Chain A
Amino acid sequence: MFCFVRSRLCPDLNFFQSKTDYPCSELFNQEDGFENLHKRIASTSLKVEIQPENSRFSSRSNRIRPSSDMFTRDNEYEILADGCEAHWEVVERILFVYSKLNSGQSYVQGMNEIIGPIYYTFANDPNQQWRGSRKTTNQSNDLFVLFRFRTRRSGHVLLFYKSNDSYSR
């Protein structure tokens, strides 16, 4: 039955922290040192982790900081090796492109929830070939087209126009 208390981060969404087999090679081959979101977040979270040591709330923040085995094993923003991408980065890119192409609608809170399960299904296709063959960005292309198709076709996208309005208050 459905859960009122949402506790589906583990193991459901842990998948998105893991490494994708089909990173976008174009991004990593750029000459001008493109800094991806992963690295930006890593540096930010590092800062946050150092700060509590000196603050007077250190005892409290120690408790909050993920210290248990479960968290250290699957560190949320664990830095992957160069040339690797986590699944969530692929999703982030799709949403970014979507918001740029649909500037009237842009990104609305909750879109990630719609794309999440769709992406999960694509990325776990039983047929290896379908997961992202031929071109490395194929998978995100397919997914992007599907996302757009789905939202447009069903008129579901109009719900998000609405949600845009009520969330921005």
Chain B
Amino acid sequence: MKIYDNSEFGIHVRMQNFLKLLKKVDNEIYDRFETQKLKPEFYAFRWLTLLLSQEFYLPDVLRLWDSLFADQERNFEFLLYICCAMVVYVDSLIETLLFFQFLVHFVLQTST
């Protein structure tokens, strides 16, 4: 069964496609992931195999799948776009969080 991993529909190729798309969408995030050696296997595996059914609430999943299945001819290419959008969205959140962390550190350091 392992032979399918690297086939056209296999998970490795899917992840590579996802990475390519991420690079195209937001090169900055892609580079950071590269330097941090954060592979898509760590976070996107479940997204791609389960078609995001675990990330959203059921009504949202149904809405999402409606679009995903409509895209079936292109082997769930739309799914990769959604995943990229998720990464980009979360990235802005992380930046805000890091900023707050910085603020807290700053306040703590200046107050003592």
Contacts and interface: CB of A to CB of B under 8 A. Distances in A.
Interface of A: 1-3, 6, 8, 12-13, 104-105, 110, 113-114, 116-117, 120-121, 150, 153-156, 158-166
| B interface majority secondary structure | helix
Contacts of B50: 110, 113-114
A121 B54 contact: no
A18 B13 CA distance: 40
Contact of A158 (B4, B53, B62): B4
Interface of B: 1-2, 4-5, 7-12, 14, 45-46, 48-58, 60-62, 65, 69, 72, 75-76, 86, 89
A165 B5 contact: yes
A154 B86 CA distance: 23
A158 B75 CA distance: 11
A120 B5 contact: no
Contact of B62 (A1, A117, A153, A164): A117
Contacts of A3: 55-57
A2 B56 contact: yes
Given A159-B9, A162-B4, A114 B57 contact: no
25 contacts: A1-B89, A2-B52, A2-B56, A3-B56, A8-B57, A12-B57, A105-B1, A110-B50, A113-B54, A114-B51, A117-B53, A117-B61, A154-B75, A155-B8, A158-B4, A159-B10, A159-B48, A159-B49, A160-B49, A161-B2, A161-B4, A161-B5, A162-B2, A162-B5, A163-B45
B76 A156 contact: yes
